Amino acid sequence: MKLLWFHLMPYTELPDDFKQKHPSVWVDIDPKLFDPLRAHGMYNDFLDELEHAAELGFDGICCNEHHQNAYGLMPSPNLVAAALARRTQDAALCVMGNSLALYDPPTRVAEEFAMLDVISGGRLIAGFPVGTPMDTCYAYGRNPSQLRERYHEAHDLILKAWTTEQVFAWNGRYHQLRYVNPWPRPLQKPHPPIWIPGGGSVETWRWCAELDYVYAYLSYFGYKLGEATLHGFWEEMDRLGKDRNPFRAGFLQFVGVAETREEALDLYTEPALYFYERCLHVDARYAQPPGYMSEATIRARVRSQVVRAAVASATETHAYGRPAFEDIVSKGYVIVGSPDEVAEQLREVAVNLNVGQLMLLLQFGNMRKDLVFHNTELFAKRVAPQLAGLFEDEWENRWWPKPLAPAARAVPRSLG
């Protein structure tokens, strides 16, 4: 299986009374809370942490896109990936991803992803999220009733731009371009692997199946909720006649490793609570602009008992509020323990959810760099070896980058 190291890049110095005094971490968070001098240190720590993970042999390193928030300081994940492309050699660069409907024209995504793919020697995983309502409809002002139409048009345009060997005109609903001709074009052919981060929408599952993309379920509510969602995903794959290749699916998991479970609880409780109480403190007003969720998805969610239970336990009760700390551990939102305990639980997660692309959050909340390094090193040296090879005898990972052979790759001066 593949192990990817995912950074959300949270602002790590929100005040202790943030939840009490501020209505939202997103959209209209108090601008005065942002201190660029402190953020200078944060960004450089975060980049160190990602580079460190790549050096320790994680298969991929991940960044993503969010706007106007202290939950994740990456309005432009492509800037982060560009820095990483020059500072890493073998790890896949998983940009998870660009919110397609926010780019006008969307050929910007085709160009920048192609730049990253070419600079990195073909290591890019291209993530195509719709984006949260906070990012897309409120921070970037996209009309929620047009968001998905824009997303799908942008997707079609980018794919055509990457795969058409001639200049073409695009007469779309939202974009009209007389000359589409991105330079550069991606190194990977026909294009970098495409991963779709999504919630539990049946339409997204079908779309991933139809276009042969990875479906990545990014939830902060652990594998027990993930089971309900991934179960639905695999049932849908069965219905569509697709195989159960675990590399079709990605899953995100918080992990804290220490010598013992007690020590892990001691080390990781505070950053976990920081994440759930401050980073996820989103005003519910921004959660559901009309049109953001399709009518089919509303129907499916309300009518499916399994999904309804899952959604009720997560998005309504907890997603924009605070879970009890006992829930954070007992429901598996955060997996903490000794290396052996963590390895055993992650193996169980991977097998039960049938997920081959496992994304790990080893930095979360206000975790500082020394602890991030400790967590990452323990994981790389004592957890990862126990998971090596899982699924790989039986299944081919067709959704992984195909970089140039090392001998054919340019070596950045800083790495030479």
Partner 1 sequence: MSPRARPARPRRPGRMRRAKPAAPRGPAVRSVKIGAERVRVLEQGRGRPLGVLAGLLGFPSWTPFLEALSARRRVIVPSLPGHPGGGDFRRLDELADWVVATQERLEAAGLAGADLVGLGPGGTLAAEVAAFSPGLVKRLVLVAPFGLFDEREPVADVWARRATELPATLSERPAEFAAQWLAPPAGADPIEFQIELVRSLEAAARLLWPFGDRGLAKRLHRIRAATLLVWGGADRVVPASYAKRFAGGIAGRTRVRSIPGAGHRADFDAPEALAKAVLDFLR
- The residues that touch partner 1, with contacts defined as CB under 8 A, are 137-138, 141, 143-146, 149, 173-174, 284-286, 289-291, 295, 298-299, 302-303
| Min separation Cβ 178 and partner 1, Å | 20
Nearer to partner 1, 72 or 289 (CB): 289
What is the biggest distance separating any 2 CA atoms in the chain, rounded to whole angstroms?
62
Nearest of 197, 201, 198, 196 to residue 301 by alpha carbon: 201
Residue 126, phi then psi, degrees to nearest 5: -95, 110
Nearer to partner 1, 24 or 354 (CB): 24
Q: What is the 8-class DSSP label of residue 403? A: P
Q: Is the peptide bond before 290 cis (omega within 30 degrees of 0)?
A: no
Token reading at 144 = 């929620």
Nearer to partner 1, 175 or 242 (CB): 175
Nearer to partner 1, 104 or 266 (CB): 104
Nearer to partner 1, 273 or 300 (CB): 300
| Min separation Cβ 144 and partner 1, Å | 6
CA distance 68 to 56: 32
| Min separation Cβ 299 and partner 1, Å | 6
| Min separation Cβ 221 and partner 1, Å | 21
Q: How many helices (H) and strands (E) does the chain have?
A: 15, 11
Nearer to partner 1, 144 or 184 (CB): 144
Nearer to partner 1, 159 or 293 (CB): 293
Place of tokens 């073409």: 168
Contacts 24+ apart (CB under 8 A), 32-36: 33/70, 34/70
User: 354-367 burial, b if ≥16 CB within 10 A, otherwise e?
Assistant: bbbbbbbbbbbbbb
Query: CA 369, 371, 376 angle in degrees (round to 5)?
Result: 95
CA distance 36 to 34: 6
